Amino acid sequence: MRILKLLFVITLSLAPITVFAQSNPDAVHYKATTDNVKPTFGPAEPVAHLKPGGILEANSLDCFGNVLQKPGDPFSLVKIDNPLTGPFFIDGAEKGDTLVVHILDLQVDSKQGVGTFGPGFGAANSTHYTPMLEKESLPERAWYYPIDLEKKLITFRAQDSNFTVQFPMHPFLGCIGVAPANGEARSSIVPAEFGGNMDAPEVSPGNTLYLPVNVPGALFYFGDGHAAMGDGEVAGSAVEVPMRAKFRFELVKGKSTGWPRLENDHEIMTTGIYRPVDDAVRIAITELVQWMHRDYGLSELDSYELLSKVGKLHLTEMVDPNYVVVASIDKKYLPAKK
């Protein structure tokens, strides 16, 4: 999510709530603030070190930096789009390894979220990449979403009518990744091979994320918490919230993944991150075929055919500089892992 100017809000308090109720005394604990968040994935002094097997408990600010607290707060208060917590140095991580990120827990750290849209950002808007001869741009707006943390429900309130509706909360991280290769620093609104602003609901508790290690220590970042989001994030934002996160890290030495991958007890998932969306789909499918071939023993052609019958594709977002697609297959359709 990137920032847009504010015209209209209905608001509750955005103040962070509490730390983890049951904190691990052996974990690395880190508190992100407006003074120490980062605007890019890239080279930076580590804020902490973790060893493989180590636990990280830390928080992230919402995509506006937690500064929009009440009606009338101007967007000029926002200093960074998608402020990132980190980087965290994983001891022993070297270029060519894979960083394994076990997402142990995510907790929404607010009783409300915010969503916006405006010119130049959204699936149906004219953008720098897809210009259109519009007579008039869509108006800029913001919506505020009350969150019932106990019932895990979010309330939408229409602005142009009296309609309200509730929908389930599904916490996940919009931004998660490592430093890119070749010394690059990439904006926190960009997804690419290093992860980044993937806006993938699959980045949620119970799932494991695999990321390529491009620099010593990997330099892990996260942020852009979402309480819920529709497929594609089509208007340009999710229900944007601050988040509390708990991770465990491992390393696969000497074996790298070309693109971020995810896994849980039931599925393997690959990402395709590019523009146009059909190229993102091709990347995701090719990555999944190769995973099925190398780790499960099916030939590439058999894998391709099987995916055509039982595979799934999920468009996670098509509003960032690159689009993101997740391809997946249920493990029950696969041979035993080699």
Domain for residue 18, yes or no? no
Sequence-distant (6+) residues with CB within 8 A of 22 are none
Q: What angle do CA 69, 173, 284 make, to 5 degrees?
A: 145
Q: Which domain holds residue 275?
A: 261-333
Q: What is the mean pLDDT of residues 143-154?
A: 97
166 and 59 within one domain: yes
271 and 138 within one domain: no
DSSP 73-104: --GGG--SSS-EEEEEEETT--TT-EEEEEEE
- Supply 37's token pair: 């968040």
Domain for residue 20, yes or no? no
Residue that terminates a domain, selected from 190, 225, 252: 252
Domain for residue 317, yes or no? yes
144 and 285 within one domain: no
Q: What is the mean pLDDT of residues 30-37?
A: 96
317 and 234 within one domain: no
What's 67's domain CATH number? 2.60.120.580
CA 145, CA 213: separation in Å to the nearest integer? Answer: 37
Q: What is the mean pLDDT of residues 55-62?
A: 98
Which element (helix H / strand E) includes 225?
strand 220-226
234 and 294 within one domain: no
pTM to 2 decimal places: 0.89
Residue 14 has pLDDT above 60, yes or no: no
Which element (helix H / strand E) includes 308?
helix 300-310
Over the stretch 225-260, which tens digit does the pLDDT of each residue have? 999 999 999 988 999 999 999 999 999 999 999 999
Single-letter amino acid code for the residue at 241: V
Domain for residue 12, yes or no? no
128 and 32 within one domain: yes
CA 11, CA 97: separation in Å to the nearest integer? Answer: 45
CA 22, CA 233: separation in Å to the nearest integer? Answer: 33
Domain for residue 54, yes or no? yes
Residue that terminates a domain, selected from 252, 286, 311: 252
Q: What is the mean pLDDT of residues 112-124?
A: 75
Domain for residue 14, yes or no? no
Total domains in the fold of the chain: 2
Residue that terminates a domain, selected from 206, 232, 252: 252
Domain for residue 15, yes or no? no
Q: Is 279 helix (H, G, I), strand (E, B) or coil?
A: helix
pLDDT, mean over the chain = 89
Instruction: Give me the percent of the chain exceeding a pLDDT of 90.
Output: 77
Over the stretch 165-203, which tens digit does the pLDDT of each residue have? 999 999 999 999 999 999 999 999 999 999 999 999 999
